[in-house]
Structure 1
Amino acid sequence: MQLKVSTQLLYSVALLLATLFTTAAQAAPAKEIFWEDLIPEGHVQISNQDAASHEGAEQNWVQPDLDAPVVKALDGKEVSLPGFVVPLEGDSEVITEFLLVPYFGACIHVPPPPPNQIVHVKIKGGVPIESLYDAITVTGTMQVATWKGEIAQTGYMMQAKGVAPFEL
């Protein structure tokens, strides 16, 4: 009987520890990063306006520096990054897929920034975006991965867990 109680006690302690470690891992806040954190240390980023070429009509902007390097250490990290939305998928109520860019109008009114300054974001269930003029903060798991669409190529992807208005 003593052995059975000890086994149950051991099992209970192991279950408690596993629960505590899981809760602690989930409770760890996402690392707040900014756009300069997406550029590898020592890399001299080409100015978007200087590097972009304009061929004819306003909508024919060509994205500069498609080989811009990324920060591989961010792969798989939980991060929080502010920026502006360029909608890709969704409806009038919510968007489920978008590009997160460092400044308003990127990819729409001006040439897209280099791929290491664009994050392709997906959010399960979607999120309402009240105004594309307002900055937001996206929290989720960052992936170092290329995504190519009609308007831009990205160097990062993120599975978002939350979106909130940007606060200083």
Structure 2
Amino acid sequence: MDNKKGGVLQLDWIDLIPKSERNQFNAQGMPVQNHSGSAAKQSLAGKVRQDLNGSSVKIPGFVIPLEGDANKVTEFLLVPYFGACIHVPPPPPNQIVYVKLPKGAPVQQLWDVIYVVGKLKTVTMSHELAETGYMLEGTSIEEYDDY
């Protein structure tokens, strides 16, 4: 989508993939997955878009909590579809965003798709669930609308 509203770039997941690599994704913008065979590993193929480094962005996604307590989540993985990183294999690193939200987000707001707003960095983060190609210094979450 790559739309800019009020200085914030509104992104879709396909926007995180360099144009030269988008042929590896299906019509819905999801990575082509192979679930056959033995325990599948995350494909580390795929580059990030360096031109997005430092951009203020808004991106929708599903939350996989990493840090927080019973009331708030302060660090999480943002993924393009429900169950990513829980089922194998995880999406490639350029389709997972590591989010740090210092003020935290109420747990009850994180069950459905949400928007996360903040500053995007092209930083590789390794976690036991997956490797990420982006890190987002989150400033807020917003209710998802698809208009």
Q: Distance in 1 between matches of 2:94 and 2:36?
A: 18
Do the aligned partners of 1:119 and 1:156 also contact (CA within 8 Å) in 2? yes
Instruction: Indicate whether 1:135 and 2:135 are aligned.
Output: no
Q: Distance in 1 between matches of 2:110 and 2:142?
A: 13
Q: Distance in 2 between matches of 1:117 and 1:54?
A: 23
In structure 2, the residue corresponding to 1:73 is in which secondary structure?
helix
Q: What is the percent sequence identity of the aligned residues? A: 46
Which residue, out of 105, 115, 139, partners 1:161?
Answer: 139
Alignment RMSD: 1.9
C-alpha deviation, 1:29, in angstroms: 3.3
Q: Distance in 2 between matches of 1:129 and 1:78?
A: 24
User: Within 5 A, what are the aligned runs for 1:1-168?
Assistant: 28-43=6-21, 44-45=23-24, 47-50=31-34, 55=38, 60-64=39-43, 66-130=44-108, 132-168=110-146
Do the aligned partners of 1:104 and 1:133 also contact (CA within 8 Å) in 2? no
Do the aligned partners of 2:122 and 2:134 also contact (CA within 8 Å) in 1? yes
Q: Distance in 2 between matches of 1:29 and 1:125?
A: 22
Q: Distance in 2 between matches of 1:81 and 1:100?
A: 9
Do the aligned partners of 1:116 and 1:154 also contact (CA within 8 Å) in 2? yes
Do the aligned partners of 1:48 and 1:111 also contact (CA within 8 Å) in 2? no
Q: Distance in 1 between matches of 2:78 and 2:137?
A: 12
Q: Which runs of 4+ in 1 moved over 2 A?
A: 44-48, 52-55
Worse-matched range after superposition: 28-37 or 80-89: 28-37
Taking a change above 3 Å as real, the CA distance of residues 113 and 140 of structure 1, as seen in their structure-2 partners, is: same
C-alpha deviation, 1:62, in angstroms: 1.3
Do the aligned partners of 1:97 and 1:121 also contact (CA within 8 Å) in 2? yes
With structure 2 as the length reference, what TM-score do the two structures score? 0.84
Give 5+ residue unaligned stretches, structure 1: 1-26
Q: Please give the per-residue CA displacement for 1:128-155, whole angstroms capped at 9, x wherever unaligned.
A: 1316540000000000010000010000
Q: Distance in 1 between matches of 2:61 and 2:51?
A: 21
Larger radius of gyration between Structure 1 and Structure 2: 1
Do the aligned partners of 1:39 and 1:70 also contact (CA within 8 Å) in 2? yes
With structure 1 as the length reference, what TM-score do the two structures score? 0.74
Do the aligned partners of 1:39 and 1:45 also contact (CA within 8 Å) in 2? no
Residue identity opposite 1:31 in structure 2? L
In structure 2, the residue corresponding to 1:107 is in which secondary structure?
coil
Aligned residues: 136
